[in-house]
Structure 1
């Protein structure tokens, strides 16, 4: 009998992958927050619920268990991680503990936990006012980074160069409706992400990903594998395993962000989910490992996790498209010279393009490319992006 599972959110590729494993997929997602055609094709039921409303999600999950139980709640999305862990724990369905998931979700709790263990020291403080922000920046004696305690997507992340800018930054925080923020010392170096997978508490680093940042700390591209030497790669793998052990992660995908600084490796944050920004697709193309499929297949015992990773296939890269904010009036796409390139253009005439302040504002689409290595893949992606024209006019 096919196992019934619940997915708290999910892109079409996630729904398809679970269905192809033979699972009966129940999707929990907000109206308009999923692809209706994919849901009709790959799901046996859709429950409309806002994943940002945790009490509503928990009520929906408990109602589902009362009338038609599932064997596991999975969340491929950040918003559903804690609710999925709570439901799994409440119904004895296995998976990572609520404590583990909450530690990863709450950036201040994670920092405190790492500080207690003496792991990856970073100076930080939770602040509630411009005055507290000023005081901490004065102690730092250098720039800091202000970020929400429990949100992703580079939303409401600000660099602050010193106490003289604290009031300005805090006014932005208040304008966003936030009352407390995490402030950390600003780490300077080379940032990568680590795409991992865990089984029975054993952790495998599947890939290390290069990150290309635009303005406002919003990623504009990624490449796999990262351009780091074997010594650094081994150190990153060791630190990642220590982190995942420290928080008690036992199964499934993980996405850990690390800064390579002059003082050593420093953990930025980690998540018990696969990376966003189509990183799992880059990993599949470059490494031959399908993290989306494994996230469901391995915990349910439908497929084993191979201890030996397959031989690398080459490199893969993604670059996000952009346009001047406004209404799209015209789009011009290349038709030749696209070897190894897949265009994922989402912009359409009449679409409103917002200023890019966080990841969700990247509405124009992306370009994914493969190559013999990450350098060639990135070059192909960037060459394709340079030939795409998305014209806009000011919003009336």
Structure 2
């Protein structure tokens, strides 16, 4: 008999991985997620469609009834929007997945900062604020620059760097424009940024991919390269910091994606998630290490994967670079076919078609597209990806309805901040 798993918010590639592992699957979707599925995405999977933000007891009762008939080996998700539901079901069914308490710490950044500071793990000076005066008080006490951002969220959304007391007013106006009643203030961490994707086996954390990161406008990520170029002692320090952090928040099993700054005082955690990293990190990890993070996380959750003995060895390097474009109506795209045809290209994707309006980059999904490449080293891969990205030219012109589109974009951005902020729903789980 095949092992059975419950997948929360799985997209078609995750369903295909489950079939490849010969797993019986029950899916949990919101109505919107279910409607967006391609017609051929589902084959023999059972689906539970449950409205978001409704009484979670109803969902638990339905999934528990399915579990009682044929038990699940685990509840798994790789989507940020699914982590709270997966934790709720793991706890309710008594399964060995990530708990609601851990997800609460990873989802609520202020809760995480207090918790890790109490344990002396990657402490970063932080406070919650709701007014311009509180921003200035924090800046006076801790020094500038500082960071202001939503208490919860992802995709580099709503982050502001405040360089001085004079700059606080405009930052506060921008935060207020997002309808944020409270926001998090943190000391600004100076240094290169990296990320670590790991897989944990009953409390033993195995870092798999460490990526160098390129950030752009508004801290939106515009590139990654694997493996990160770290000397052995710093790499060991990074791995120890991530392990200590995961221990502190109670993450014992499954995937994690942790973002860090390499400061003069040592690595400091920015945030972490109990899922694999986005931005094609899974594609690059598979190319360099031969490990599909989604498949490995699913296989471990289903009891089909033997624990990794240690970190895998890298075979070459990989990089992704995201295309930049001037906002406006897209008239033409030049150089895309030539760049796509390069032998080092693994993936090539354009997010906009001619005739569409390209918005200002306010979050990750505003980027114009990307190219993923492999090469002998991470440095060579990054150079190649940047060279190919520079060949792709997006020709835009002012749109007659640009002001209207801009206003709609700002409203959508405000709505996205609210949608991605899961903090209001954390307390119901803990």
**Residues 54, 83 of structure 1: 8 Å contact kept:** no
**Residues 191, 257 of structure 1: 8 Å contact kept:** yes
Q: 1:352 to 1:221 in 2, by over 3 A?
A: same
**Residues 108, 149 of structure 1: 8 Å contact kept:** yes
Q: 1:391 to 1:34 in 2, by over 3 A?
A: farther
Alpha-carbon separation, structure 2, partners of 1:4 and 1:211: 37
Q: Could you list the per-position Cα deviations for residues 285-332 of structure 1 after superposition, in whole angstroms to 9, with x for gaps in the alignment?
A: 111111110111012112223314443211010011232222323223
The corresponding residue for 2:353 is 348
The corresponding residue for 2:392 is 388
Alpha-carbon separation, structure 2, partners of 1:382 and 1:229: 24
SS at match of 2:371: strand
Alpha-carbon separation, structure 1, partners of 2:44 and 2:351: 24
Shift of 1:59: 4.1
SS at match of 2:41: helix
SS at match of 1:384: helix
Alpha-carbon separation, structure 2, partners of 1:39 and 1:161: 51
Shift of 1:392: 2.6
Q: Using the TM superposition, name which of 213-222 and 347-356 deviates more.
A: 347-356
**Residues 15, 42 of structure 1: 8 Å contact kept:** no
**Residues 317, 378 of structure 1: 8 Å contact kept:** yes
2:378 pairs with 1:374: yes
**Residues 16, 42 of structure 1: 8 Å contact kept:** no
SS at match of 2:314: coil
Q: 1:148 to 1:395 in 2, by over 3 A?
A: same
The corresponding residue for 2:17 is 17
From 105, 108, 111, the equivalent of 2:107 is 105
SS at match of 1:81: helix
The corresponding residue for 1:55 is 54
Q: Using the TM superposition, name which of 212-221 and 114-123 deviates more.
A: 114-123
The corresponding residue for 2:417 is none
**Aligned residue runs from structure 1 range 149-164, under 5 A:** 149-164=151-166
Q: Could you list the per-position Cα deviations for residues 359-378 of structure 1 after superposition, in whole angstroms to 9, with x for gaps in the alignment?
A: 1222x321000010101111
2:338 pairs with 1:335: yes
| TM-score, structure 2 normalization | 0.85
Q: 1:329 to 1:24 in 2, by over 3 A?
A: farther
Structure having the larger proportion of residues in helix: 2
Alpha-carbon separation, structure 1, partners of 2:358 and 2:269: 33
Alpha-carbon separation, structure 2, partners of 1:9 and 1:326: 33
Alpha-carbon separation, structure 1, partners of 2:382 and 2:107: 31
Shift of 1:55: 3.2
User: With CA pairs under 8 Å and 6+ residues apart, which has the higher RCO, 1 or 2?
Assistant: 2
The corresponding residue for 2:177 is 175
**Residues 134, 166 of structure 1: 8 Å contact kept:** yes
Alpha-carbon separation, structure 2, partners of 1:45 and 1:67: 10
Shift of 1:45: 4.3
Alpha-carbon separation, structure 1, partners of 2:44 and 2:266: 46
Shift of 1:338: 0.4
Which sections of structure 1, spanning at least 5 residues, go unmatched? Answer: none
Alpha-carbon separation, structure 2, partners of 1:227 and 1:154: 23
The corresponding residue for 1:288 is 290
Alpha-carbon separation, structure 1, partners of 2:231 and 2:377: 14
**Residues 75, 89 of structure 2: 8 Å contact kept:** yes
**Aligned residue runs from structure 1 range 39-188, under 5 A:** 40-41=41-42, 44-48=45-49, 53-55=52-54, 59-60=58-59, 62-66=61-65, 71=72, 72-188=74-190
Q: Could you list the per-position Cα deviations for residues 50-107 of structure 1 after superposition, in whole angstroms to 9, with x for gaps in the alignment?
A: 6xx3436764454344357772332211122122101110122221221111111111
The corresponding residue for 1:191 is 193
The corresponding residue for 1:254 is 256
Shift of 1:122: 1.4
Alpha-carbon separation, structure 2, partners of 1:231 and 1:394: 51
